[in-house]
Amino acid sequence: MAGVELFSHPAFRTRYRAGLCSAAALALLLIGALTYVPPLLVAYRSHGFWLKQSAYLEQPTVRFRYEVLFVATTGPGPGSFLAWSTFPAFNRLQEERLRVPLLSTREEDKNQDGKMDQLYFKLELPLQSTEHVVGVQLILVFSYQLHRMSTFVMQSMAFLQFFSPLPGSHLYVNGDLKLNQRQLLNHCGLDTRYNVSVINGTSPFASDYDLTNIIAAYQDRNESGVDYNSDITSSASVSSIDLQTAPVLRKCLKKL
């Protein structure tokens, strides 16, 4: 009958054998499986051992929130501008400088995967015969979500700015909305630290709508999505991004 060698000692010429279907053989098989299989599973689930950081690829879920702040410069003076936004408090502050534009937007899912890949945005500003636009500043607000490892939710923005010494009638901008990551993402859980409005649309104070203050506060985030790039036509694309995250195994060991 075929058997399996359980133990041997050449010095004493001792050998212990058991049948393939014996309890001892099955115990040896079980011990061998426990020696190799669990470490492989832990290594697979933790994406490696003793990593300080790891990276993965994910396409975020990005949707336009239909929140806009627009400023058109019409001259060199401090009050030479026209402005409009989707925030009523900001519009009330503009008084005679308020000018309502004509907007058209379209989000497109090119590969039909359920995630929007591109936003088409068009703004047409009515002007009087004596008005000329020499500069444009525009903020578009988006919701930005990641789901593969941790669930990361934030409000992000695209900032478009252009100035010219000569007046123009049309501006076309094409850019990408990218994540600017300054610290590791958690490997699991829900992160909503930055799921707050980029623009405080209920504030009655003009300083809260100052573009310098808005961008400065936005840049203080550890994660932000920014696109730095009269009649404005623009499109913003969204693609997969490389993300840095804290490994699962290291996080579990730190909690022990």
- Give the integer Cα–Cα distance in Å for 171 and 140: 16
Contacts of residue 94, Cβ cutoff 8 Å, sequence gap at least 6: 83, 84
Q: Which amino acid is at 169?
A: S
Residue among 195, 219, 248 nearest 56 (CA): 248
Tens-binned pLDDT, residue by residue, of the chain (256 aa): 456 666 666 666 666 666 667 776 777 788 888 888 888 887 777 666 666 667 778 888 999 999 999 999 999 888 899 999 999 999 999 999 999 999 999 999 988 888 888 999 999 999 998 999 999 999 999 999 988 878 889 999 999 999 999 898 888 888 888 888 888 777 778 888 889 889 999 999 999 999 989 988 888 876 665 443 345 565 556 656 665 655 444 443 333 3
Decide: helix, strand or coil at residue 89.
helix
Residue 56 near residue 148, CB atoms below 8 Å: yes
Tell me the pTM: 0.73
The number of residues making up the chain comes to 256
Tokens read off for 33 = 């499986």
User: Rounded to 5 degrees, what angle do the CA atoms 63, 245, 40 make?
Assistant: 125
pLDDT score recorded for residue 29: 80
Give me the residues paired with residue 168 across strands.
133
- Give the integer Cα–Cα distance in Å for 76 and 56: 48
| Residue written as token pair 């501006």 | 171
Residue among 141, 140, 179, 194 nearest 58 (CA): 179
DSSP string of 138-149, one letter each residue: EEEEEEEEE-SS
Judged by phi (left if over 0) then psi (alpha if -120 to 50, else beta), residue 103 lies in beta
β-strand 231-237 against 171-176: which pairing, if any? parallel
